[in-house]
Structure 1
Amino acid sequence: MSDDSRPAPAAAARTAAVIPAAGRGVRLGPGAPKALRSLGGTPMLIHAVRAMAASRAVSLVVVVAPPDGAAEVKSLLDAHALPGGTPSGSWGRTDFAVVPGGESRQESVRLGLEALPPGYDIVLVHDAARPLVPVDTVDAVIEAVRDGAPAVVPALPLADTVKQVEPAAVPGDPEPVVATPERARLRAVQTPQGFDRAALVRAHETVTGDVTDDASMVEQLGLAVVVVPGHEEAFKVTRPLDLVLAEAVLARRRLNDGF
């Protein structure tokens, strides 16, 4: 939940968040799309939208829905509107919009960007499958963009040693190790990733190859990407065990903080 005692942000750089939620989430098994799976009795997507709206800097959230599911997602957001969000399309001080997505995450983010009205200089791109990112992490990303970084990613040091391998021709066969990267120089990247809007738009206009995140597109433009500390609770819910962990985190928050 947001803390209304937090100082209101300066009006100079307005921030919008784009949440691509058009994927099916097959690794969680059959059923509803991953973003619509229940977490603590509430769809994960709603938790993700609330996580963005918890920041006083975020005044607009654009949800990119499955191509044939925009009306369903809009109804879902209306049904879970926070107290104070009286008109349709608003949760208190944070407005939201829903647009149909594309066939890939990259296309869905581009469609979300195109739906942003003028006047938003900072854009966050956040995974719907990271429903529990704390507001302090969101604010740290925004602040780093305000300080001049074209792209900002929250990230954590790796706990495990990482091996680079030669992929096996047959899945499940032994794979030879070709290198052991220095763990101290590696980070596990999370979201929301934050961007100067113009840089992100140019990246989506320029980079056509398949990418795993938006920051790598900005990297390909030769622009700087910086890392700020992530948070262990901003993990991605991808597999059934992740959902169990997310339920435990949410239960602890509700017990300790009334979240």
Structure 2
Amino acid sequence: MPTLAVLTAAGSGTRLGLDVPKALVEVDGLPLVVHAARNLCASGVVDEIVVTCPAGLVDHVDLLLRDDPGVDRPVRAVVGGGTRQESVEAGLRAGLGRAAGTDSGTDSDAGAGGAAGVDVVVVHDAARPAASPDLVRRVVAAVRSGHVAVVPGLPVVDTIKRVEPGADGVGAERVTATVDRDVLRAVQTPQAFDRGVLQRAHAESVHRAGSEHLAATDDAGLVEDLGLPVHVVPGEVSAAKITTAEDLHLARWRAGHAATRDR
């Protein structure tokens, strides 16, 4: 059955200190959104991609991806939202052709986006452009094996302290505990979900979507709020998120290093 991917690319990228939206920032000569879309396609398990982006860039991103030889699946760009949660919801509406809260998957309910039969939805961020095709395959396979929500994650290697909120006059916070890092994972995208579960999770948390303070930072958190299990599969260092200028420098270094190694 078909798999839909929602690729969020609506971030402004202000923390990168550049004058272009984050999704259009280039690494190794290509915009981040193109890298991410190529890897989704190369996985072989994604059938259609909806990209959410700023309103003024919809036509540009749409043409950029449609003209790219490495994007060989149907793809379209739509307007994202003010929060990541709103953007994913917009992508679901566009890709599934119906309200995010309805979990029927019959052909008669399919919208213009070709939602007929979609049973798995992958949610990914253009800010993680180097997440590999194998990682996409891994999360989708885990959902198809019976898990309703699957995320990639890496073991936490730093020592983690729990503190009392609020620093004193010299900026010091009191430590209340050292957290067992063996049971912690740093979560990444792409994340994969049973279609009906993800639609229900968004429908039941729609009151949070418009607030930056309340909106979910990832879709797995919305599924957790339903009381349903979320499972973690091994992530990868290459799936690191690009948020700051330092992240971008590191991503460009890795891309250059990989190109040199492959010669």
After superposition, what is the alpha-carbon deviation per residue over 1:145-175, rounded to whole angstroms, capped at 9, x for unaligned?
Answer: 0001110000000110111222336898222
SS of the equivalent of 1:224 reads: coil
Q: Calculate the TM-score normalised by the size of structure 2.
A: 0.85
Q: Calculate the TM-score normalised by the size of structure 1.
A: 0.86
CA contact (8 A) 2:84 2:216 kept: no
Paired residue for 1:110, among 80, 89, 95? 89
CA contact (8 A) 2:3 2:48 kept: yes
SS of the equivalent of 1:144 reads: helix
Q: CA RMSD in A?
A: 1.7
Amino acid corresponding to residue 25 of structure 1 in structure 2: G
- Which stretch of the first structure deviates more once superposed, 163-172 or 17-26? 163-172
Shift of 1:229: 0.2
Paired residue for 1:174, among 172, 184, 190? 172
Residue 215 of structure 1: aligned partner? 220
Shift of 1:115: 1.0
CA contact (8 A) 1:67 1:102 kept: no
| Map 1:6-155 → 2, pairs under 5 A | 13-79=1-67, 81-82=68-69, 91-92=71-72, 94-116=73-95, 117-155=115-153
SS of the equivalent of 1:180 reads: strand
Shift of 1:41: 1.4
Residue 251 of structure 2: aligned partner? 246
Separation of aligned partners in 2, 1:46 and 1:121: 25
Residue 197 of structure 2: aligned partner? 199
After superposition, what is the alpha-carbon deviation per residue over 1:43-99, rounded to whole angstroms, capped at 9, x for unaligned?
Answer: 1111111111111111111100112321121122234x116xxxxxxx33x111111
Question: Identity over the aligned pairs, expressed in percent?
Answer: 47
Amino acid corresponding to residue 238 of structure 1 in structure 2: T
Residue 163 of structure 2: aligned partner? 165
Separation of aligned partners in 2, 1:196 and 1:171: 49
- How many residues are matched? 237
Separation of aligned partners in 2, 1:172 and 1:42: 45
Residue 187 of structure 2: aligned partner? 189
Residue 107 of structure 2: aligned partner? none
Separation of aligned partners in 1, 2:5 and 2:31: 18
SS of the equivalent of 1:111 reads: helix
Amino acid corresponding to residue 52 of structure 2 in structure 1: V
Shift of 1:14: 1.5
* Structure whose residues are more often helix by fraction: 2
Separation of aligned partners in 2, 1:95 and 1:171: 56
Change (3 A) 1:99 1:168: same
